[in-house]
Amino acid sequence: MDFEVPEKIKVITSMIDEFVDKELIPLEPEFLTHDFRSMVPVLEEKRKMVKQMELWAPNHPKEYGGMGLNLVEHAFVSESLGRTPIGHYVFGCQAPDAGNAEILYLHGTEEQKEKYLRPLIEGKIRSCFSMTEVDMPGSNPVMMNTTAVKDGDDYVINGHKWYTSSSDGAAFAIVMAVTNPDAPKYLQASMIIVPCDTPGFNQVRTIPVMGEPGTDYAGHGEILYQSCRVPQKNLLGPEGQGFVIAQQRLGPGRIHHCMRWLGICRRSFDLMCKRAQERIMTPDGKTLATKQIIQAWIAESAADILAARLMTISTAWKIEKLGVKEARQDISLIKFYVANVMQKVVDRALQVYGGMGMTDDIIIPFFYRHERAARIYDGADEVHKMSVSRRILREYEGREVK
Amino acid sequence: MDFEVPEKIKVITSMIDEFVDKELIPLEPEFLTHDFRSMVPVLEEKRKMVKQMELWAPNHPKEYGGMGLNLVEHAFVSESLGRTPIGHYVFGCQAPDAGNAEILYLHGTEEQKEKYLRPLIEGKIRSCFSMTEVDMPGSNPVMMNTTAVKDGDDYVINGHKWYTSSSDGAAFAIVMAVTNPDAPKYLQASMIIVPCDTPGFNQVRTIPVMGEPGTDYAGHGEILYQSCRVPQKNLLGPEGQGFVIAQQRLGPGRIHHCMRWLGICRRSFDLMCKRAQERIMTPDGKTLATKQIIQAWIAESAADILAARLMTISTAWKIEKLGVKEARQDISLIKFYVANVMQKVVDRALQVYGGMGMTDDIIIPFFYRHERAARIYDGADEVHKMSVSRRILREYEGREVK
Amino acid sequence: MDFEVPEKIKVITSMIDEFVDKELIPLEPEFLTHDFRSMVPVLEEKRKMVKQMELWAPNHPKEYGGMGLNLVEHAFVSESLGRTPIGHYVFGCQAPDAGNAEILYLHGTEEQKEKYLRPLIEGKIRSCFSMTEVDMPGSNPVMMNTTAVKDGDDYVINGHKWYTSSSDGAAFAIVMAVTNPDAPKYLQASMIIVPCDTPGFNQVRTIPVMGEPGTDYAGHGEILYQSCRVPQKNLLGPEGQGFVIAQQRLGPGRIHHCMRWLGICRRSFDLMCKRAQERIMTPDGKTLATKQIIQAWIAESAADILAARLMTISTAWKIEKLGVKEARQDISLIKFYVANVMQKVVDRALQVYGGMGMTDDIIIPFFYRHERAARIYDGADEVHKMSVSRRILREYEGREVK
Amino acid sequence: MDFEVPEKIKVITSMIDEFVDKELIPLEPEFLTHDFRSMVPVLEEKRKMVKQMELWAPNHPKEYGGMGLNLVEHAFVSESLGRTPIGHYVFGCQAPDAGNAEILYLHGTEEQKEKYLRPLIEGKIRSCFSMTEVDMPGSNPVMMNTTAVKDGDDYVINGHKWYTSSSDGAAFAIVMAVTNPDAPKYLQASMIIVPCDTPGFNQVRTIPVMGEPGTDYAGHGEILYQSCRVPQKNLLGPEGQGFVIAQQRLGPGRIHHCMRWLGICRRSFDLMCKRAQERIMTPDGKTLATKQIIQAWIAESAADILAARLMTISTAWKIEKLGVKEARQDISLIKFYVANVMQKVVDRALQVYGGMGMTDDIIIPFFYRHERAARIYDGADEVHKMSVSRRILREYEGREVK
């Protein structure tokens, strides 16, 4: 066993940490008080710098202009980027584009790859993933009302989706729709590429989330598909394989979230410690850092973060070595475990800041409100707990336990 | 001992519950997506209805147009109002005006009462309370940089305050400033009434809180006092008694918060139960309510809320019977206990709503983000825990324990 | 509403507190290191003192020699007694005799009352309650294998029970057995009085619990009923009404536990505070009481205990006023809530004692290990949570919630 | 990075797991209801089998008859052994002998090694470590009253110790005593080897712990040193270096505990899962495993244990690679983290067993009561939290944090 971080990764993450500190964190005050759309130009400049440093698209294949890091390597990179909400975007590895690129890479036709994948990885266009439906539980993807019916050479799509994140300004959506209603449950849906300027692709609104309307990349679209017609060659992967592909996508997607959350943990922890050390509480100059309750939070957070990081990296290692399927239990475990560590750490950091912890003068309340979703998206805590325990319990069937 | 809710209060709260359901909750979608200022006219109409129903200013003295309820009675009223963020405002018992009115009632001169108290209780003007300083810990009020120096018949005030809540559009502020720098620590500051149109009263900004800029009543002002001059007759209470009066104000202020939080608990609990019962999770129609984890949350929340309510009411009873001073320990206990119950209940309710729980289509995320402050304002949890335990430990000095 | 403790109760509890301190706590070192049987003589002496003080059997009817306190009054008495594990026994109000006496009082024939109830309340004999079966979940009482078959004028009982607490040395058992196997589920079982010297009543062993074999009153019997024959007049209450009566018994039984647990909380809290104040941690004489984490535990425990006490008393009040049935939800809530408060408080107290907290030189580890059962007996936490939430959720059916 | 368990270790642990299942777990019923002394003969037989399998003393140097495993390797071995309370004893790697052997190996003279170390590792004798004092906080080792005064060629030791674990029947004690009262605080004490048959070495009692008197290896001795005279050559390590050596010993000692606790976690988890799967709760045959709350406990426990295991192994790796000093923060983190994971897992497992969970028919309540000490010995949770946070906070001094 070896817990040493590879030298190459140490170099890369130290470059990224410095870049985040110097170039991105100074943008946060603007980010926190303006809508995303107005930030796009300045973020575009930063992206250019990243490309010049040859740190662009760290997780993506070299043939498409990425760095081709493996999952363990990307874990460290992603933690460094996750320290600021704009990190992944500026480095070209943000959700949902990263996941969409992965599907296109694995299942796309050459034509689809040239048309959608290449510009996507190059950061020239953005995309969205349109699966969740308003009236259906996200945890049960086979409950789906959206349909894609063949008509001539086309699919005609009808349905009502929401949480189609980043739909605002996206070039195309990957849409999940029932194409084979008579097939077995898990073989009814397909993925279809829908350019967002297709007639019948109607973004009803961006959903206001935690007090923010949300624009551009930061908007969560509610989309009404009304007789939305696309050619059948836009089918992504085999017909009826939508859920199978989605499952393949969600595994890495979940660990990608965990990696990013580690960055949020690190940033919040750093700020908490710094604040504790600087905040004078009594006329004789005693700081918050001398208070035992604060000390306990710091120690508990350090332990929690260490646990979260080791679990995430070991899961990445397992995926690399044995594949997503073998690592499913670990992925479910880290999905809820790391999300909860993050929530605890952010909450403690906020509390250490006191009144300032509520203000947009600092980044913590942004994490507090937006990352509350971490315990919900890509499978709520409870869903993962059930699924992981059922898997575990099966192992005890017929096994003798003393 | 008697736990029966008085008949009179049952009648009043059932009227209020109905009014909140019919007249106020329907305003929430607008409230959640617009700034407060734009809401003022419609809220003014609702206030008129409340006055016609003779439910205006329930906690205020009858001689000034209020209902004159005692603290136990008001606990029930306040729970009913707290179910919506606009409840207390529409019924004329909102912070910080309620607390300011109480100070004016107890310590104001007749002139001050006519000029400030009467229109305040009548809802014709608003006020703010300007104590917290940017660089000083709110938990230690004797650390204060703002000064009020006598000059002729005036005080000249200089200092930098923030979290002067509701300063935006307020008619006057009650300002805490050091008037007697050579006196013992707790006797250095005084309360001074400062009309907000006084030159030198500069609202630098409203602090953006949890993603919202905040306007009018909902704005938390950062105020720069720059040679701000007011006549010495604006002194509120005796000179040097600022902290003493503030302490008197904070006790009831804290229990007022607890009462309101009970309303947030009740609303969140109702929504959680309703959602659990209606949300279908599987194709065979099973709802969230059939899930044991959800059931556990409901039961635990019911217990937590019952505890919080009983503790709040018994503390109100103790204040009524023995005075604020005798109830200080209970006030500290409920301050952190009820705040944490609220946070747990709101968090569970949000989780039960899943993705919708993040959206401003419902009220819960508003509670989630804004009431995070409950564990901070008027004494952070940790401060109350320390103060209450010191008080308890003193009781054990010299006492034989077997 | 009135939270004042009645003067009469203040007098009684102050007498009891003093008696417990002077006469019972000094017996604990012996109690902790010897088996119960060897303690019986000295406890018998203390019982005589209690009778002389006219504090015997506080919860039992005056006509049978008790004090006839109502449930609210008994709550305070029971908290005082619960401070030591031998309190209730010495005052003649210990489980399971208290519950058995209640059943006999409500459902016994005159003959049964004279033969069993009178000497039971007088403390001349002890009893046990034989319901739980080894292979059946205690949470589901309708799963029962023990049968009582009529044969001539007798019942012939066969079955295997355990957790027949205090069977060792008891004069009689109240046995639950299926008498009407063809009746609807909840009407199959009956209660039958079985003198423990009846042939076929075989105490296989006392179950070793948490490292202790258990003798006499402190023994938890495993009982094999082997063709155990008793006259049919030993039927207690109507045939087939066993579960109905058991339900009636369990409600008050649960609140009786809660009351006793409050005493354990109080004792542990007192010891924790005293220890914190006396334990010197550093050469300069600083005590544990100066440590903020300890302070936080004290404050949190104070809040938890206050909550637990108020909930217990308000539930007692509700039972007195509206009956057990109307208070079922409250009873379930306090059952799990107070048990968990106790576990937290005892755990914190133990931790404050450090190494000594593990030793039988003090009472806390006794509470720690034996009261772990509180979250299990008379319905595990989880069972109560489910039952209470189902009850709550029913209230939301068809109810409009905004 | 590499998370693969080495093949050699897989082989060893699978042998050990099988041995524990077949040979040791069947002894537990006797172990749970008899004192340790009566178990010694049968355990001696098992030790012989272990030696024949060449698995004896896995952590000890080959030159003294051990297997010479490194710390990472031993982590896996120790987890397998920790599944039963008699595992480490039977394999010759039990505390406190393991730690004492390490001190002797590193600091003993050749004569001391031959006389004490060799027979100790061979399992021919046992030892104890006599540091903790009755009236002094264990967390502050410089507060020590025991003295060793030179007199001729001897030391004369006077003092009062307790928690001298395994003193009952031990051949020798390593005693900490103040030899240099005028030196700086941390240089005042020395370690001295005291044969237990030395006059003046008086075992007053074994302390009753959690209801058990404790004998032989399982006894925690209270020792009165009364003019206890040993030759000065019994000094272990340099004079005045007692604390320095103790610190060196405690680091590995703590991680040894963590490794053992992982075994307790695994065993409790296995039993919990098996029980959940077998325990029928309803007449239609539904088991506990179908209950969502139980499922949540299983999933949470799996995550907690995975975290605890990764943290422990990575800390072992760090100690191997960088030394104890560099790993001090990690050691403190795992000390409290793993102890708390264990407590949670054991508590959940106990709850899943219901009434049986309280009985000595199974091993879980033994873990429950005796391992409560894990949060206390070798530094209470709170002490480690403080020390780790101070270390962390120092890193932030002068560091710029954005």
How far, in Å, CA of D275 to CA of D297, rounded? 13
Assess whether C131 and C92 both reside in one domain: no
A250 pLDDT above the threshold of 90: no
Condensed to tens digits (0 to 9), the pLDDT of residues C225-245 reads: 999 999 999 999 999 999 999
Model pLDDT, residue D139: 64
Model pLDDT, residue B143: 87
pLDDT band at D143 (very low <50, low <70, confident <90, very high): confident
Cα dist. B64→A341, B103, C120 in Å?
A: 51, 14, 64
CA atoms A329, A331, A334, A339: torsion sign: negative
Cα dist. D96→D230, D250, D273 in Å?
A: 21, 11, 32
A139 pLDDT above the threshold of 80: no
C-beta contacts of A24-32 below 8 A and 24+ residues apart: A24/A84, A24/A86, A24/A87, A24/A90, A25/A83, A25/A84, A25/A363, A25/D402, A27/A86, A28/A84, A28/A85, A28/A86, A28/A363, A29/A360, A29/A361, A31/A85, A31/A86, A32/A360, A32/A363, A32/A366, A32/B208, A32/B211
Assess whether A228 and A251 both reside in one domain: no
Condensed to tens digits (0 to 9), the pLDDT of residues A296-341 reads: 999 999 999 999 999 999 999 999 999 999 999 999 999 999 999 9
Check CB contact under 8 Å for D357 and C376.
yes
Residues 42-101 of A with CB under 8 A from D: 72
Model pLDDT, residue A8: 96
pLDDT band at B398 (very low <50, low <70, confident <90, very high): confident
Backbone angles phi, psi at B187, to 5 degrees: -120, 20
**Residue of chain C nearest A293, judged by CA positions:** C293
pLDDT band at B136 (very low <50, low <70, confident <90, very high): confident
Nearest-by-Cβ selection for B393 from C273, C336, C396: C273
How far, in Å, CA of D9 to CA of D17, rounded? 12
Residues of A in contact with B373 (CB under 8 A): 355, 358
| C385 near B CB under 8 A | yes
Residues of D in contact with B292 (CB under 8 A): 291-293
Assess whether D139 and D95 both reside in one domain: no
Amino acid at D301: S
User: Which of D236, D266, D296 is a domain's end point?
Assistant: D236
How far, in Å, CA of C280 to CA of C371, rounded? 30
Count of domains for chain C: 3
Assess whether A292 and A258 both reside in one domain: yes
Pairs of residues, one from chain A and one from chain B, whose beta carbons lie less than 8 Å apart: 133
Where are the alpha helices (H) located in D234-326, listed in sequence order?
Answer: 242-278, 292-322
| Residue A366 to chain B, least CA–CA distance (Å) | 7
Task: Taking residues D230-248, report their average pLDDT.
Answer: 95
CB burial of residue A213 (10 Å; 0-12, 13-18, 19+): middle
Check CB contact under 8 Å for D293 and B291.
no
Report which DSSP code applies to A114.
Answer: I
Check CB contact under 8 Å for B373 and A358.
yes
Residue appearing with tokens 């192994």: D313
Do the Cβ atoms of C378 and C338 come closer than 8 Å? Answer: no
Average pLDDT for chain D? 96
Q: Say how many C-beta atoms besides its own lie within 10 A of residue A247's C-beta.
A: 14
Residues 352-371 of C with CB under 8 A from D: 354-355, 357-361, 365-366, 368-369
Q: Say how many C-beta atoms besides its own lie within 10 A of residue B3's C-beta.
A: 19
How far, in Å, CA of A341 to CA of A346, rounded? 9
Check CB contact under 8 Å for C33 and D208.
yes
A87 pLDDT above the threshold of 90: yes
Condensed to tens digits (0 to 9), the pLDDT of residues D341-378 reads: 999 999 999 999 999 999 999 999 999 999 999 999 99
How far, in Å, CA of C97 to CA of B305, rounded? 34
Tell me which H or E stretch contains D330: helix D328-353
pLDDT band at A73 (very low <50, low <70, confident <90, very high): very high
How far, in Å, CA of C214 to CA of C229, rounded? 27
| C278 near D CB under 8 A | no
Task: Taking residues D142-156, report their average pLDDT.
Answer: 95
Q: Say how many C-beta atoms besides its own lie within 10 A of residue C256's C-beta.
A: 25
Assess whether C254 and C381 both reside in one domain: yes
DSSP for A21-67? IIIIGGGHHHHHHS-HHHHHHHHHHHHHHHHHTT-SSTTS-GGGTS-
Condensed to tens digits (0 to 9), the pLDDT of residues A203-217 reads: 999 999 999 999 999
Q: Which chains touch D (3 or more CB pairs under 8 A)?
A: A, B, C
How far, in Å, CA of B85 to CA of B363, rounded? 9
Check CB contact under 8 Å for B306 and C330.
yes
Do the Cβ atoms of A259 and A214 come closer than 8 Å? Answer: no
Check CB contact under 8 Å for A296 and C293.
yes
Residues of D in contact with C355 (CB under 8 A): 132, 138, 162-163, 373, 376-377
Has residue C252 been placed in a domain? yes
Check CB contact under 8 Å for B392 and C302.
yes
Condensed to tens digits (0 to 9), the pLDDT of residues B236-289 reads: 999 999 999 998 888 889 999 999 999 999 999 999 999 999 999 988 899 999
How far, in Å, CA of A337 to CA of A381, rounded? 8
Task: Taking residues B76-102, report their average pLDDT.
Answer: 97
Q: Which chains touch C (3 or more CB pairs under 8 A)?
A: A, B, D
Backbone angles phi, psi at A17, to 5 degrees: -55, -45
| Residue D315 to chain C, least CA–CA distance (Å) | 26
Model pLDDT, residue C247: 87
Of all residues in chain B, the percent with pLDDT exceeding 90 is 94
More confident residue, D54 or B139: D54
Q: What's the pTM value of the predicted model, to 2 decimals?
A: 0.97
Task: Taking residues B1-16, report their average pLDDT.
Answer: 96
Do the Cβ atoms of D256 and D229 come closer than 8 Å? Answer: no
How far, in Å, CA of C164 to CA of C220, rounded? 6
A235 pLDDT above the threshold of 70: yes
pLDDT band at D136 (very low <50, low <70, confident <90, very high): confident
Check CB contact under 8 Å for C137 and D281.
yes
D138 pLDDT above the threshold of 90: no
Q: Which domain holds residue C70?
A: 7-104
Task: Taking residues B46-74, report their average pLDDT.
Answer: 97
Q: Which of D279, D358, D385 to mutate to test the interface with C (most CBs of C within 10 A)?
A: D358
Task: Taking residues B362-390, report their average pLDDT.
Answer: 97
**Residue of chain B nearest D290, judged by CA positions:** B292
Residues in chain A: 402
Check CB contact under 8 Å for B293 and D291.
no
Computed on alpha carbons and rounded to an integer, the radius of gyration of chain A in Å comes to 22
Condensed to tens digits (0 to 9), the pLDDT of residues D259-280 reads: 999 999 999 999 999 999 999 9
Pairs of residues, one from chain A and one from chain D, whose beta carbons lie less than 8 Å apart: 155
Nearest-by-Cβ selection for D306 from A3, A72, A333: A333
Assess whether A98 and A132 both reside in one domain: no
* Neighbouring-strand partners of residue B190: B177
DSSP for C268-300? HHHHHHHHHHH-B-STT--BGGG-HHHHHHHHH
How far, in Å, CA of D176 to CA of B95, rounded? 62
The verdict on whether omega for the bond into residue C283 sits within 30 degrees of 0, i.e. cis, is no
B328 pLDDT above the threshold of 70: yes
Backbone angles phi, psi at B329, to 5 degrees: -65, -45
Nearest-by-Cβ selection for A368 from B207, B279, B372: B372
Has residue C292 been placed in a domain? yes
Nearest residue to A295 via CA among A263, A272, A323: A272
B141 pLDDT above the threshold of 80: no
Task: Taking residues D91-97, report their average pLDDT.
Answer: 97
**Residue of chain D nearest C209, judged by CA positions:** D359
Has residue D132 been placed in a domain? yes
B142 pLDDT above the threshold of 80: no
Assess whether A226 and A284 both reside in one domain: no
Assess whether C61 and C175 both reside in one domain: no
| Residue A295 to chain C, least CA–CA distance (Å) | 9
Check CB contact under 8 Å for A351 and B163.
no
Has residue A229 been placed in a domain? yes
Check CB contact under 8 Å for A137 and B381.
no
Lowest mean pLDDT among A26-35, C255-264, C339-348, D132-141: D132-141
**Residue of chain B nearest C322, judged by CA positions:** B4
User: Which of A72, A104, A136 is a domain's end point?
Assistant: A104
Has residue C1 been placed in a domain? no
Assess whether D286 and D228 both reside in one domain: no
Do the Cβ atoms of A22 and D402 come closer than 8 Å? Answer: no
Do the Cβ atoms of B357 and A376 come closer than 8 Å? Answer: yes
Task: Taking residues D89-114, report their average pLDDT.
Answer: 97
Do the Cβ atoms of A225 and A158 come closer than 8 Å? Answer: yes
Condensed to tens digits (0 to 9), the pLDDT of residues C172-197 reads: 999 999 999 999 999 999 999 999 99
CATH classification at residue A286? 1.20.140.10
Model pLDDT, residue C134: 87
How far, in Å, CA of C163 to CA of C377, rounded? 10
Q: Has the ipTM of the complex gone over 0.95?
A: yes
| Residue C381 to chain B, least CA–CA distance (Å) | 9
Pairing of strands C147-151, C154-165: antiparallel
Assess whether A230 and A277 both reside in one domain: no
Reading chain C (402 residues) residue by residue, the pLDDT tens digits are: 999 999 999 999 999 999 999 999 999 999 999 999 999 999 999 999 999 999 999 999 999 999 999 999 999 999 999 999 999 999 999 999 999 999 999 999 999 999 999 999 999 999 999 999 988 887 676 789 999 999 999 999 999 999 999 999 999 999 999 999 999 999 999 999 999 999 999 999 999 999 999 999 999 999 999 999 999 999 999 999 999 999 888 888 999 999 999 999 999 999 999 999 999 998 889 999 999 999 999 999 999 999 999 999 999 999 999 999 999 999 999 999 999 999 999 999 999 999 999 999 999 999 999 999 999 999 999 999 999 999 999 999 989 999
CATH classification at residue D11? 1.10.540.10
Check CB contact under 8 Å for D358 and C380.
no
Model pLDDT, residue A249: 83
Nearest residue to D205 via CA among D197, D214, D218, D193: D214
| Residue D353 to chain C, least CA–CA distance (Å) | 9
Has residue A1 been placed in a domain? no
Model pLDDT, residue D247: 87
CATH classification at residue D158? 2.40.110.10
Assess whether D296 and D384 both reside in one domain: yes
Of all residues in chain B, the percent with pLDDT exceeding 70 is 99
How far, in Å, CA of A245 to CA of C187, rounded? 55
Q: Which two tokens stand for residue A230?
A: 């696309």
D83 pLDDT above the threshold of 80: yes
First to last CA, chain D: 29
Task: Taking residues B30-49, report their average pLDDT.
Answer: 97
Assess whether B132 and B275 both reside in one domain: no
Model pLDDT, residue D182: 96
How far, in Å, CA of D117 to CA of B238, rounded? 78
Has residue B165 been placed in a domain? yes
Do the Cβ atoms of A127 and A173 come closer than 8 Å? Answer: yes
Residues of C in contact with A296 (CB under 8 A): 293
User: Which of D236, D263, D278 is a domain's end point?
Assistant: D236
How far, in Å, CA of B18 to CA of B27, rounded? 14
Residues 290-329 of B with CB under 8 A from D: 291-293, 296
DSSP for A285-325? --BGGG-HHHHHHHHHHHHHHHHHHHHHHHHHHHHHHH-TT
| B380 near A CB under 8 A | yes
Which of helix, strand or coil describes residue D402? coil
Residues 175-214 of B with CB under 8 A from C: none
Has residue B117 been placed in a domain? no
Tell me which H or E stretch contains A275: helix A242-278
Pairing of strands B127-130, B172-178: parallel
